[in-house]
Amino acid sequence: MMPPLFFLFVLIFCFQTALANDVETQRLKDLDAYWAEVSRTVREGDFEGYKATCHEKGVLVSGNKKTSYPLSKALARWKKDFTATKTGKTKAKVEFRFSQRFSDETTAHETGIFLYSFTDLEGNWKQEYVNFQALLLKGKDGWKIMMEYQQSRSTKDEWDTLATET
């Protein structure tokens, strides 16, 4: 017969494992909510809402252009696109799929592909698939992107291999 102490250790281990899984599940839900908010702001042309998802000292890294610069400069450049969407001159949306998601209580590193779809001034839809990595920090006001690394162009086939959408 097994000693009662052994069963206590097994019970504690099972409880800790279940608790860790619950915490990780909740963290992924919170991160999914973050990406859903990013998608909403792009779709609605909500520049201030999008800006609120970014860390004030955030960095944008471009693999295609082989450069990095403050996210605030990118935001200034993108503002006209948000305004065009908000006023109905264009439409835009962004979707995310992930291949890796690492996180703890206050940091997250997410790797995947985003699909940015938009209309030109004639109303024709265009699509850009981009391999990306994101480094996020969680503070008192929630998750914020600290670093967005737009690595390279991707393809629809690569997009389709990533099974889940957020």
Measured CA to CA, the distance from residue 15 to residue 4 in angstroms comes to: 17
Band (pLDDT 50/70/90 cuts) for residue 21 is: low
| Interacting residues of 18 by C-beta distance below 8 A, sequence separation 6+ | none
Task: Give yes or no for residue 112 having a pLDDT over 90.
Answer: yes
Residue 4: its pLDDT value, please?
62
pLDDT in tens, 22-46: 778 899 999 999 999 999 999 999 9
Average pLDDT over residues 82-95: 96
Band (pLDDT 50/70/90 cuts) for residue 166 is: very low
Measured CA to CA, the distance from residue 161 to residue 99 in angstroms comes to: 9
Better-scored residue on pLDDT, 40 or 21 = 40
Domains for the chain: give ranges and CATH numbers: 4-161 (3.10.450.50)
Residue 19: its pLDDT value, please?
42
